[in-house]
């Protein structure tokens, strides 16, 4: 459909007419009523809105999307799921090592579309879900990573060995190839990109929004160009990194034109997509008036420190892009006049009037790092999609108490109302029971390792990065043993992937393995497990089932963090340093806050990890938490009058704020400023 037809309605025929190989491959899955088992109507409505000039629309660019279709928006296939698109077996490394050799964790489910690496992607995915819930006219743009991120193997129990991941987009439920092929020139010839579509539905399936995914694996491309959209974040040199960012930014803008969408705002989720600005510039008829760029580009910065931002030598950029693009990049993307580098963060800061950090604390840190832009840096705290991350048992609980709580699924902000139930003995009991259901659900998956549902269980699971201090809880195991002897047994569950090029991250995994090994003789009082291949499925399972969620980044290096938000909506208590989103919940008694606090205008060093003093602080709060836990549940007897249950209620009440429903409303109020049509 072309732009000139933009006030015409978008029909079923228009829709299937645009799909590549529709007759051969998709006519069983898509018809006038249904799209992979979901209603088709919301898709046609969403497409139509994007064509209409009278409705303000937004294009949202992100390098990665964690959509978690195994737990939300699970499309159906008439034919069986292909083997390549299923989950694997997962190994476990534990101090009950005999089990590790005999057993695996088996999950026979749809593989999540492997186009994300971690929290940034999960946030992008949750954003799209809330956009669908709230009915904004928005299209997402990303890359179809043909080999995903990577698959983690605990090879012979010696640590992490990355392996290429295989999956099949052509048989993945809900994913469709369009006939549209976009192209642009690089220094090494033209690149062709197939446009794919995926749809994200609202929780009630009444609304939907499209996601465009670009794919260079086409016969028209020369051989090595076909690999450009292979692996996410696995580019080892500048050329490769730059061209991938070009595909997202320039290819993304071209795909919007190819589809004929009428777009008013361009939202860059992180600096990766900043080359979109150059493409917009090329389209301007009056190159002296940059207002159409400045007023309509929006930038969300997720990176806490300057070293983490994308920077490329101008000569490297000139090896990828044609000269007029390089000139524009120099004009827009330098940190200072003298600089010989293009910095994508500066390109975004220079050209977007609206910029946001992802938590209040991150806003402070960003203003310290970019004083020249302090005026325009706003803070909009991240969130999670409540419907995706709340467990079945908690959804049932919230539904049972709907009269007091309200329509939490339509608007999670009403979860604040659980406070009204804090003196209701039946609610307190139901709440703890719902938690135990989740805990037993996790324990049944790892039943071979014989964990118990009345033993204090704590989890650390996230990307393995040095500043997140993955091994902190195992730093002084003699303290841990003492605690287990004096207060009661402990179960510790861990998971996380280190970026394959991150050598320090790999060392951290080895350290965890070594420490776990040292606890072999203590398995009756301390049971420690690390699970292979942390992903969104495990992310949901772990955040909703353990008693305490551990989060111990070195302040102020965690821009926001979101896994704790997934935990609080399920009443899981927080044990955390004061950083990222947590700073905004310091006084709400959602668990235990410990360790080093960042103050002042000196950011400090990311490598000064403060492991000794902060692990001591951690063991102190661990003791408090364990004592309270064993007052609440002991030998199967439960006491729902303790402060533990109050803290669980405080957690749920805070999730009224830390969700993407509130975040997307804030994006609109402060950044997009568009009207919405529902």
Ligand X SMILES: *Cc1c(COP(=O)(O)O)cnc(C)c1O
Q: Is 576 in the site for ligand X (CB under 6 A)?
A: no
Return the HEC string of 495-547. ECCCCCCCHHHHHHHHHHHHHHHHCHHHCCCEEEEEECCCCHHHHHHHHHHCC
Q: Are the beta carbons of 287 and 281 closer than 8 angstroms?
A: yes
Structure-block tokens of residue 369? 């790092």
Q: Provide, rounded to whole angstroms, the least separation between the CB of residue 536 and ligand X.
A: 5
Q: Are the beta carbons of 522 and 484 closer than 8 angstroms?
A: yes
Question: What character string, x for contact with ligand X (CB under 6 A) and - otherwise, covers 504-543?
Answer: ------------------------------xxx--x----
Residue corresponding to tokens 């938490």: 625
Question: What does the alpha-carbon distance between residue 205 and residue 111 come to, in Å, rounded to a whole number?
Answer: 21
Q: Provide, rounded to whole angstroms, the least separation between the CB of residue 241 and ligand X.
A: 22
Q: In angstroms, how far is CA 556 from the centroid of its own chain? A: 20
Binding segment for ligand X among 20-28, 314-322, 555-563, 609-617 (CB under 6 A)? 555-563
Q: Provide, rounded to whole angstroms, the least separation between the CB of residue 305 and ligand X.
A: 16
- CB nearer to ligand X: give 349 or 512: 512
Angle at 610 between CA 609 and CA 616, to 5 degrees: 135
Segment (H or E) for 428:
helix 425-445
Q: Which of 506, 454, 266 is nearest to 514 (CA)?
A: 506
- CB nearer to ligand X: give 216 or 536: 536
Q: Is 122 in the site for ligand X (CB under 6 A)?
A: yes
Binds ligand X (CB under 6 A): choice among 18, 118, 230, 591: 118
Question: What does the alpha-carbon distance between residue 418 and residue 420 come to, in Å, rounded to a whole number?
Answer: 5
Q: In angstroms, how far is CA 492 from the centroid of its own chain? A: 23
Site for ligand X in 207-236 (CB under 6 A): none
Binds ligand X (CB under 6 A): choice among 562, 574, 632, 655: 562
Binding segment for ligand X among 116-124, 287-295, 300-308, 609-617 (CB under 6 A)? 116-124
Q: Which of 575, 535, 677, 666 is nearest to 109 (CA)?
A: 535
9-44 core/surface letters (b: 16 or more CB in 10 A; e: else): ebeeebbbebbbebeeebeebbeeeebbebebbbbb
- CB nearer to ligand X: give 18 or 561: 561
Q: Provide, rounded to whole angstroms, the least separation between the CB of residue 436 and ligand X.
A: 23
In sequence order, the 6+-apart residues with CB closer than 8 A to the CB of 647 are 573, 589, 590, 591
Q: Provide, rounded to whole angstroms, the least separation between the CB of residue 497 and ligand X.
A: 8
Q: Provide, rounded to whole angstroms, the least separation between the CB of residue 64 and ligand X.
A: 11
Q: Which of 392, 308, 314, 297 is nearest to 348 (CA)?
A: 297
Q: Is 463 in the site for ligand X (CB under 6 A)?
A: yes
- CB nearer to ligand X: give 460 or 644: 460
Binds ligand X (CB under 6 A): choice among 462, 469, 499, 654: 462
Q: Provide, rounded to whole angstroms, the least separation between the CB of residue 562 and ligand X.
A: 4
- CB nearer to ligand X: give 543 or 615: 543
Binding segment for ligand X among 219-227, 412-420, 558-566, 652-660 (CB under 6 A)? 558-566
Q: Provide, rounded to whole angstroms, the least separation between the CB of residue 464 and ligand X.
A: 10
Q: Is 119 in the site for ligand X (CB under 6 A)?
A: yes
Binds ligand X (CB under 6 A): choice among 561, 571, 591, 595: 561
Total residues in contact with ligand X, by rule CB under 6 A: 13
Question: What does the alpha-carbon distance between residue 396 and residue 142 come to, in Å, rounded to a whole number?
Answer: 34
- CB nearer to ligand X: give 173 or 561: 561
In sequence order, the 6+-apart residues with CB closer than 8 A to the CB of 371 are none
Q: Is 619 in the site for ligand X (CB under 6 A)?
A: no
- CB nearer to ligand X: give 409 or 535: 535
539-577 core/surface letters (b: 16 or more CB in 10 A; e: else): bbbbbbbbbbbbbbbbbbbbbbbbbbbbbbbbbbbbbbb
Q: Provide, rounded to whole angstroms, the least separation between the CB of residue 388 and ligand X.
A: 10
Q: Is 317 in the site for ligand X (CB under 6 A)?
A: no
Segment (H or E) for 650:
helix 643-654
Q: Provide, rounded to whole angstroms, the least separation between the CB of residue 463 and ligand X.
A: 5
Q: Provide, rounded to whole angstroms, the least separation between the CB of residue 566 and ligand X.
A: 6
Q: Is 73 in the site for ligand X (CB under 6 A)?
A: no
Binds ligand X (CB under 6 A): choice among 466, 563, 574, 615: 563
Segment (H or E) for 199:
strand 189-201
- CB nearer to ligand X: give 356 or 574: 574
- CB nearer to ligand X: give 229 or 388: 388
What residues make contact with ligand X under the rule CB under 6 A? 118-119, 122, 462-463, 534-536, 539, 561-563, 566
């Amino acid at each position: 459909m072309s732009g000139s037809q933009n006030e015409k309605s978008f029909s079923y025929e228009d829709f299937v007419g645009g799909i590549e190989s529709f007759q051969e491959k998709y006519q069983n899955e898509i018809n006038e009523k249904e799209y992979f088992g979901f209603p088709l109507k919301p898709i046609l409505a969403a497409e139509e809105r994007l064509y209409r000039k009278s409705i303000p629309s937004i294009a949202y660019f992100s390098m990665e999307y964690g959509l978690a279709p195994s737990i939300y928006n699970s499309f159906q296939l008439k034919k069986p799921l292909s083997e390549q698109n299923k989950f694997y077996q997962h190994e476990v490394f534990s101090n009950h090592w005999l089990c590790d050799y005999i057993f695996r964790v088996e999950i026979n489910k749809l593989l999540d579309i492997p186009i994300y690496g971690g929290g940034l992607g999960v946030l992008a995915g949750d954003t799209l879900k809330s956009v669908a819930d709230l009915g904004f006219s928005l299209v997402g743009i990303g890359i179809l990573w043909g080999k995903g991120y990577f698959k983690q193997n605990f090879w012979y129990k010696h640590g992490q060995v990355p392996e290429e991941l295989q999956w099949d987009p052509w048989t993945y439920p809900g994913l469709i190839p369009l006939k549209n092929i976009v192209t642009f020139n690089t220094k090494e010839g033209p690149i062709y990109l197939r446009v794919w579509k995926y749809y994200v539905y609202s929780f009630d399936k009444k609304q939907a929004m499209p996601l465009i995914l670009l794919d260079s694996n086409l016969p028209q491309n020369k051989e090595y160009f076909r690999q450009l959209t292979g692996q996410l974040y696995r580019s080892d040199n500048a050329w490769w990194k730059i061209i991938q960012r070009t595909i997202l930014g320039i290819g993304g803008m071209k795909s919007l034109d190819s589809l004929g969408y009428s777009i008013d705002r361009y939202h860059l989720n992180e600096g990766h997509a900043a080359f979109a600005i150059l493409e917009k510039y090329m389209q301007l008829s009056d190159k002296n008036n940059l207002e159409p760029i400045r007023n309509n580009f929006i930038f969300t910065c997720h990176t806490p420190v300057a070293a983490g931002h994308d920077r490329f030598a101008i000569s490297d950029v000139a090896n990828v892009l044609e000269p007029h693009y390089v000139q524009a990049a120099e004009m827009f993307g330098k940190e200072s006049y003298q600089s010989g580098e293009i910095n994508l963060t500066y390109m975004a800061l220079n050209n977007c009037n609206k910029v946001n950090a992802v938590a209040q604390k991150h806003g402070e840190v960003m203003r310290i790092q970019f004083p020249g832009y302090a005026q325009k840096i706003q803070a909009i705290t991240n969130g999670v999609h409540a419907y995706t991350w709340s467990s079945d048992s908690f959804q049932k609980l919230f539904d049972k108490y709907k009269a007091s709580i309200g329509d939490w699924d339509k608007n999670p902000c009403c979860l604040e109302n659980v406070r009204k139930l804090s003196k209701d003995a039946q609610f307190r009991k139901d709440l703890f029971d719902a938690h135990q259901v989740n805990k037993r659900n996790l324990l049944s998956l790892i039943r071979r390792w014989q964990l118990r549902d009345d033993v204090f269980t704590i989890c650390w699971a996230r990307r393995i990065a040095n500043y997140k201090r993955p091994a902190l809880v195992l730093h002084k195991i003699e303290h841990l043993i003492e605690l287990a002897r004096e207060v009661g047994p402990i179960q510790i569950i861990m998971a996380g992937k280190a970026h394959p090029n991150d050598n320090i991250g790999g060392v951290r995994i080895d350290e965890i393995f070594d420490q776990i090994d040292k606890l072999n003789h203590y398995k009756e009082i301390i049971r420690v497990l690390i699970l292979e291949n942390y992903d969104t499925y495990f992310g949901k399972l772990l955040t909703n089932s353990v008693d305490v969620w551990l989060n111990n980044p070195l302040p102020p290096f965690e821009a926001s963090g979101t896994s704790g938000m997934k935990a609080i909506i399920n009443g899981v208590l927080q044990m955390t340093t004061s950083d990222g989103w947590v700073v905004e919940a310091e006084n709400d008694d959602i668990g235990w806050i410990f360790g080093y606090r960042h103050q002042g205008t000196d950011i400090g060093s990311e490598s000064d990890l403060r492991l000794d003093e902060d692990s001591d602080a951690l063991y102190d709060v661990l003791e408090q938490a364990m004592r309270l836990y064993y007052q609440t549940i002991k030998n199967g007897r439960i006491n729902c009058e303790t402060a533990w249950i109050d803290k669980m209620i405080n957690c749920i009440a805070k999730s009224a704020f830390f969700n993407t429903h509130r975040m997307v409303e804030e994006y609109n109020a402060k950044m997009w400023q568009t009207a919405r049509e529902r």
